[in-house]
Every structure is written in structure tokens, then in C-alpha cells.
């Protein structure tokens, strides 16, 4: 059983689901918690990425972290009892991830965590709490980098740990040509390739405090004096900006976009500004320099290899290629381990 709920998880699950379908002896039941419920952030990904339609859709979103996670726990448990899966697969670091891992482990169903071992070392981030707890509940730790393996070892987690590469790289390779051919987002927005920047803001550390959100927006507005900054606006950020009176003037604000449109925007951007872990990596996959709108990142190799920098740093390091993410076959490593460990 695969449990997903947010945009980055749909992208990763698309790659792994394809590998599962091609692996003898494996079948998959998809559960969508509903954490991302906007059609532009949910339904369109299932359509564009050929993800199996969820057998169970929980429609759980909104509320505080405890409220959301608790409701997910209550809803997932009876589904696990009904479906009786051999494995529960979770992705990344969201409330959906934590709820799935907790529900499964309490029923003694082994958990496989795709994207295990990442650490920002900032426990004020809800995502850090989610990923640490999930890692310590999981029987299979499917790590995207050797740094992630090292992080787990430092916490005493060595059993079931595998460096498989990054399944998001698999997904990027799968859709790159399709996005370039089928997406009309640039012409629709009146943009020329390599003549604009792309930005995303959604993390609670940036949207939960007016001064922080204002500082991030002012950074983007400063950048927009050099070239247009396109901002697909996350619903949480839209609500926060309205509630806090933060003006988004000067930015090219658009509604959230599907994966193909986002891939085209990323591929043709001059720079990327983001607080998203996934978008940091996707920028590298498209060989576009990134500036992370946070004070730390779990994707440290993007910093050390010069493709990314934190927004308060002065400059990027010397640029070189990153070998950690694999060759686009990480999802098949995941499927092989699930199959072999059953």
C-alpha cells in the first residue's frame, strides 16, 4: 500500500508505481490522504504522470498538525486492516508520511520510507520531525544519497538501509521531453526561455510569520527588477499573504500548475527561488541554478556542488555535477527491494 498526500509524493510515487507494475509478484493499492486537495496540486498530477487512481481517498486537509495527523491516523488504520498489505510505502516528510508510518507500525506492518535519511538538523521544522520519526519506524530505509545513509548511521539506524538514488530524478527524465513538447505555459504567460526566474513559497517557516514572509517576498521583488519572477502561488501562501497584508506586487503571480507545466517552467528558467526541497533538486535536474529561501537545506550536496545556495549566502560554490542521485533507475531499486524482502 502506497500512502501519498502532497505534490512531491505524487511525483515520486509515479516513478515507483511504474516500476511496481513492471515487477513480477508486486501489486499496489494507492491511498490519497487529501493533504493537497486543490485540483491543480492533486488531480492533474495523477492524470499527467500516469499514477494509479487511489482506491481510497480520505479527503483530509486543513487544521493544525496534530489535528490533521490524528484524523489521518484514524482513517488509515481501518484501511490497513481491510487491505492487509505486505508493505506500506511512504514518501518524504509530510503529515501524510508520518500518519502512514505510525498507523502501519502500530499494526506491525513493515514500512518502507522512500527518501529516508534526509536531515536539515532544524527541529523547529515540522518536516524534520516527520522524517526523523518515520525513519525510526521504518524497516526499509530507501536513501537518495550517501549523506542520508551517513545521517541514519549517526542515529544508530543501519539495518534495512539502502542507497537507491533519487526517484524524483527518474520522474524528471520520464516527463522531460513530454513537457517540452506538450506544455504551452511559456507562450500562455508571454515568457521567453531563460528570460525569467521561477519561485515557490509554501513552508510554514516562511508563511507563518509576517516579518519572515515579508522578507522573502521583498527578496523576490528585488530579483524581479532584473527579470520577471513567476510565482505559482500555493494556497497556504495566498491565504497567509492576504491575512498578513503582504503585497505581492511586482511578481508574476499565477495559480498552481501541473507537473508538465512546472517542468517546462523549471527547464527554461534562468534561476529558481524556492523553500521546497523537491524543487531544489528539480532545479538541478534541469541544470538551473537555485537559491533556497531558507537558512538550511536537507539537500546539502546541491550547495557543496554549486547548483544551490541559501538566500543569505553571498555566492554559489564552484559548480560541478552531482553523482549521488543515480542514473534514473532508483524506482526499480525500490521495487526490487520490496519484492525481495517480502
d(CA 287, CA 230): 18
- Residue 190 CB coordination number (10 Å): 9
> Given pLDDT bands bounded at 50, 70 and 90, which one contains residue 36?
low
Question: Model pTM?
Answer: 0.88
The whole-angstrom separation of Cα 93 and Cα 56 is: 21
Question: Model confidence at 342, in pLDDT bands (50, 70, 90)?
Answer: very low
Residue 64 has pLDDT above 50, yes or no: yes
Distance from the Cα of residue 11 to its chain's centroid: 8
Mean per-residue pLDDT for 78-87?
Answer: 98
**pLDDT greater than 70 at residue 38:** no
From start to end of 151-225, where are the E strands? 161-163, 197-200
What's the pLDDT at 160?
97
Cα separation, 226 vs 251, in Å, equals: 12
Q: Which of 260, 301, 310, 294 is nearest to 144 (CA)?
A: 301
> Could you tell me the pLDDT band of residue 41, with boundaries at 50, 70 and 90?
low
Q: Residue 63, SS3?
A: coil
> Among the options 113, 202, 267, 305, which is catalytic?
202
Q: Any idea which of 16-25, 78-87, 170-179 has the lowest mean pLDDT?
A: 170-179
Nearest to 140 by CA among 338, 297, 276, 340: 338
Q: Is the pLDDT at 341 greater than 80, yes or no?
A: no
Residues 6+ apart with CB under 8 A from 51: 10, 13, 14, 17, 30, 45
DSSP structure class, residue 322? -
User: If you average pLDDT over residues 3-23, what whole number do you get?
Assistant: 93
pLDDT in tens, 278-287: 899 999 999 9
Question: Is residue 100 within 8 Å of residue 3, measured between CB atoms?
Answer: yes
Query: Which domains are present in the chain?
Result: 2-166+327-340 (3.40.50.2000), 174-310 (3.40.50.2000)
- Whether the per-residue pLDDT at 39 is higher than 60: the answer is no
Task: Report, as an integer, the average pLDDT of 257-268.
Answer: 94
Active site residue 202: yes
Rg of the chain in Å (alpha carbons) = 19
SS3 247: coil
Question: Region 164-178: what's the mean pLDDT?
Answer: 93
Cβ atoms of 8 and 91 within 8 Å: the answer is yes
Q: Which residues contact 92 (CB under 8 A, 6 or more apart)?
A: 6, 8, 9, 12, 114, 115, 127, 131, 277, 278
Cα distances (Å, whole numbers) of residue 281 to 64, 166, 167, 169, 275? 28, 9, 11, 8, 11
> Span 116-126, mean pLDDT?
93
Give pLDDT tens digits for 309-322.
999 998 999 999 99
Predicted pLDDT of residue 154: 98
Kind of pairing between the strands at 252-254 and 308-310: unpaired
Amino acid at each position: 500500500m502506497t500512502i501519498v498526500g502532497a505534490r512531491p509524493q505524487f511525483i515520486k510515487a509515479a516513478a515507483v508505481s511504474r516500476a511496481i507494475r513492471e515487477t513480477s509478484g508486486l501489486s499496489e493499492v494507492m491511498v490519497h490522504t487529501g493533504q493537497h486537495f486543490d485540483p491543480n496540486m492533486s488531480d492533474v498530477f495523477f492524470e499527467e504522470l500516469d499514477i494509479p487512481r487511489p482506491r481510497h481517498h480520505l479527503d483530509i486537509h486543513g487544521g493544525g498538525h496534530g489535528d490533521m495527523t490524528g484524523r489521518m491516523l484514524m482513517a488509515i488504520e481501518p484501511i490497513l486492516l481491510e487491505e492487509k498489505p505486505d508493505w506500506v510505502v511512504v514518501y518524504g516528510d509530510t503529515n501524510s508520511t508520518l500518519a502512514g508510518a505510525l498507523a502501519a507500525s502500530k499494526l506491525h506492518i513493515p514500512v518502507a520510507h522512500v527518501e529516508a535519511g534526509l536531515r536539515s538538523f532544524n527541529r523547529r521544522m515540522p518536516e524534520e520531525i516527520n522524517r526523523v520519526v518515520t525513519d525510526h519506524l521504518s524497516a526499509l530505509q530507501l536513501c537518495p544519497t550517501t549523506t542520508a545513509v551517513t545521517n541514519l548511521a549517526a542515529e544508530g539506524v543501519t539495518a534495512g538501509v539502502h542507497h537507491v538514488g533519487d526517484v524524483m530524478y527518474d520522474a524528471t527524465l520520464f516527463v522531460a521531453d513530454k513537457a517540452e513538447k506538450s506544455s504551452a505555459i511559456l507562450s500562455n504567460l508571454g515568457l521567453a526561455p531563460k528570460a525569467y526566474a521561477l519561485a515557490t513559497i509554501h513552508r510554514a517557516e516562511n508563511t507563518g510569520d509576517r516579518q519572515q514572509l515579508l522578507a522573502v517576498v521583498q527578496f523576490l521583488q528585488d530579483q524581479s527588477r532584473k527579470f520577471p519572477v513567476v510565482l505559482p502561488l500555493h494556497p497556504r501562501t495566498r491565504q497567509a499573504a492576504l491575512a498578513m497584508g503582504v503585497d505581492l506586487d511586482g511578481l508574476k503571480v499565477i495559480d498552481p500548475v501541473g507537473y508538465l507545466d512546472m517542468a517546462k517552467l523549471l527547464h527554461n528558467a534562468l534561476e529558481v527561488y524556492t523553500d521546497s526541497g523537491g524543487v531544489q533538486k528539480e532545479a538541478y535536474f534541469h541544470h538551473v541554478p537555485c537559491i533556497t529561501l531558507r537558512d538550511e537545506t536537507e539537500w546539502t550536496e546541491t550547495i557543496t556542488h554549486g547548483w544551490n545556495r541559501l538566500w543569505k549566502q553571498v555566492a554559489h560554490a564552484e559548480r560541478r555535477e552531482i553523482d549521488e542521485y543515480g542514473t534514473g533507475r532508483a524506482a526499480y531499486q525500490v521495487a526490487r527491494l520490496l519484492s525481495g524482502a517480502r
